[in-house]
Amino acid sequence: MTESGTPGAAGPSRTAGAEGAEGRAQALEVAPSAASRTTVTVSVLMTIATHRHHSIPSLIYCDASTIYRNRSRDKALGPAHYGRGMRIRIVDAFTDRPFTGNPAGVMLLDAFPEDSWLQNVALEINHAETAFAHPLPEGGEADWALRWFTPATEVAMCGHATLATAHVLHTTGAHKGPVRFATRSGVLVAETAEDGTVTLDFPTAPLTAVDVPEGVAEALGAPVRAAFDTGPYVGDLLVELADERAVRALRPDHKALTTHSERGIIATARAEDPAAGYDFVSRCFFPNVGIDEDAVTGSAHTALAPLWSQRLGRAALTGLQASPRSGLVRTEVRGARTLLGGRAVTVVEGELLV
């Protein structure tokens, strides 16, 4: 099956915007109108590989707001531009096994259509986040524009859906080498190693110690040792609990958590047995964006990594997110940047029909 989804058919035609990215985007899809009725047909793929940590040099942070605003918010495409399906993928991120880690929808487009259509697709896919990306003209600060939507809203940063997008660009050949994404959080860089390990270069979250807000311990159902604000890009309240068992045993009142941060709560503790292959554990609850518990949260680890690197005296650590699906995130703090490493597996690839 070709990228258009039709056996034996030629690949999709290139638009004027995509031609400027010749050689970087060979697997683009065309966005349907918001009013179109959609159907999804899928085939399941399971590719299992081993995990190995890979680091990339820390890059200087650039503000991509100008790129994002001027180049990624293209005018809505007209109905005459549609008429065929486009590829839609579901990728399990921060794992090397299918049905674990955090699933994300990924769609490669040639432009961003109306926000309402993007939101409706994310609601239809109904995973924690769906990533939408399209190529940018060569010679700029970034290679692809990238946006993330939960089933309820657009978010400013998402690690696992960025990793999933980098995985799709690499495995489909749509982009070669390190990829620079223009996002609401600036330019984010991803590099994929030969073994498939993806390393993300994200801004380190600025942690600020705060008093434990009244009602947080009751909403979580566990005593809280310390609390931290995680800054504007992450937007969570990070709380430290007594031990790993306390984190694993949490059964929070999700409705009661909604008043304590912009996005949600990150609960963490030191690993009970570092010989088990991880240094700290966490769980993430984001009811404000429609996610009661996130499976594996890359953005949260930009706050977890500096906290535990300072506590444990090491820059490179491994975090286990102890959700029911579970996943490992390799972290390395490099000052204002934090590297996040992990694998990904494409489990569903199909066609969105209009």
Q: Are the C-beta atoms of 137 and 276 separated by less than 8 Å?
A: no
User: Number of structural domains, the chain?
Assistant: 2
Question: Are both 149 and 222 inside the same structural domain?
Answer: no
Residue 167 contacts residue 175 (beta carbons within 8 Å): no
Phi, psi for residue 144 in degrees, rounded to 5: -135, 145
| 290's tokens | 């429609």
Q: Is 3 part of any domain?
A: no
| CATH number for the domain that contains residue 163 | 3.10.310.10
Which pair of structure tokens corresponds to residue 276?
A: 């088990």
Instruction: Please name the amino acid found at residue 201.
Output: D
> Which value, to the nearest 10 degrees, does the dihedral of the CA atoms of residues 23, 25, 30, 31 take?
-140
2 domain residue, yes or no: no
Report the pLDDT value the prediction gives residue 80, as an integer from 0 to 100: 35
Are residues 157 and 72 located together in one domain of the fold?
A: yes
Cα(40)–Cα(42) distance, rounded to whole angstroms? 6
What are the structure tokens assigned to 268, written together?
Answer: 């963490």
Q: Where are the beta strands (DSSP E) in the chain?
A: 39-44, 86-93, 102-108, 129-135, 144-149, 154-155, 179-183, 186-192, 198-203, 208-210, 226-229, 236-240, 264-270, 280-286, 291-294, 316-321, 327-334, 337-342, 344-353
Residues 195 and 213 in one domain: no
- The pLDDT assigned to 24 comes to 43
Do 62 and 183 share a structural domain?
yes
Q: How far apart are CA 347 and CA 46, in angstroms?
A: 5
pLDDT for position 12: 36
Q: Are residues 230 and 141 in the same domain?
A: no
Same domain, 173 and 48: yes
Classify residue 13: in a domain, yes or no: no
> Are 156 and 81 in the same domain?
yes
Q: Is 17 part of any domain?
A: no
One domain, residues 63 and 184: yes
92 in a domain, yes or no?
yes
- At residue 352, the pLDDT reads 85
Domain with 40, as residue range(s), is 24-201+343-353
* Residue 84 to residue 29: CA distance in whole angstroms: 9
Residues 72 and 161 placed together within one structural domain of the fold: yes
pLDDT at 354: 63
5 inside domain: no
Pair (51, 94) in one structural domain: yes
- Does one domain contain both 236 and 264? yes
Q: Within a 10 A sphere around the Cβ of 126, how many other Cβ atoms? A: 12
Q: Annotated active-site positions, please?
A: 129
Contact indicator for 353, 86 with CB cutoff of 8 Å: no
Q: Is 8 among the domain residues? A: no
51 and 189, same domain (yes or no)? yes
Burial class (CB in 10 A: 0-12, 13-18, 19+), 123: middle
pLDDT tens series, the chain, 354 aa: 334 333 333 333 333 333 444 444 344 444 444 434 344 433 334 333 333 333 333 333 334 444 444 444 444 443 334 445 789 999 999 999 999 999 999 999 999 999 999 999 999 999 999 999 999 999 999 999 999 999 999 999 999 999 999 999 999 999 999 999 999 999 999 999 999 999 999 999 999 999 999 999 999 999 999 999 999 889 999 999 999 999 999 999 999 999 888 899 999 999 999 899 999 999 999 999 889 999 999 999 999 999 999 999 999 999 999 999 999 999 999 999 999 999 999 999 999 876
CA 207 to chain centre: 21
330 inside domain: yes
